[in-house]
Chains A and B, each alone.
Chain A
């Protein structure tokens, strides 16, 4: 079973559209994250939720809105997509008392 799963894996969409990427973890973790990997391969944290509460919110346009319906899910909704949003988005989870972060396989978003 996949520990951290995110869908869709590939997404091609036009500028201005609204899209969502879903993430689910079956590890029983209480903390989930979204990371963005840009074209230069740099991974940067976007958001972190602990027990459904937002604890990390880096400098991200407010077009990006994470939603955590429960501890096992953290979905990323993006409004009014722009070309610069094209990237690979990684969901991840961890148990807060430890520091091993488990990543999903990534979602390749291409905005055209």
Chain B
């Protein structure tokens, strides 16, 4: 069985500040890990994914995430928040080699203050 926990359903940062969205996973096999973003009234877009290559993964829009096996974490960061980053962010895990079955966390809403 696999599961994902996102700590903090709401995170608020000031524009230009560091963004840190936390994700911890549970998996019985080496996991594939993903971050998706959902803008208001839109579908999910893939930000980045970890598939057992480099542990530091760079994604779109300046986001990156680091896979830490010892901490079973895959936290999402961005050095400087932009107003357009305000959205809902979902962490997901897949044990399937083809990654065809994702288990999602509950999501974290990021708010960016001017």
A contact residues vs B (CB 8 Å cutoff):
4, 31, 33, 40-45, 48, 50, 55-56, 90, 92, 94, 96-106
Contact = CB atoms under 8 A, between A and B. Distances in A.
Classify the secondary structure of A's interface with B.
strand
Given A41-B106, A103-B36, A96 B100 contact: yes
Given A4-B43, A103-B44, A104-B43, A41 B107 contact: yes
A99 B49 contact: yes
User: Top 6 closest A-B pairs, CB basis?
Assistant: A99-B99, A43-B104, A105-B43, A103-B44, A41-B107, A103-B43
A96 B88 contact: no
Interface size class of B (residues with CB under 8 A): 20 to 34
Given A97-B98, A100-B99, A106-B42, 10 more contacts: A40-B106, A42-B107, A48-B101, A92-B44, A94-B100, A98-B98, A99-B99, A101-B46, A103-B45, A104-B43
24 contacts: A4-B43, A43-B90, A43-B102, A43-B104, A44-B104, A45-B102, A48-B100, A50-B100, A56-B100, A56-B101, A90-B44, A92-B44, A94-B100, A96-B98, A98-B98, A99-B94, A99-B100, A100-B49, A100-B99, A101-B102, A103-B36, A105-B43, A106-B42, A106-B43
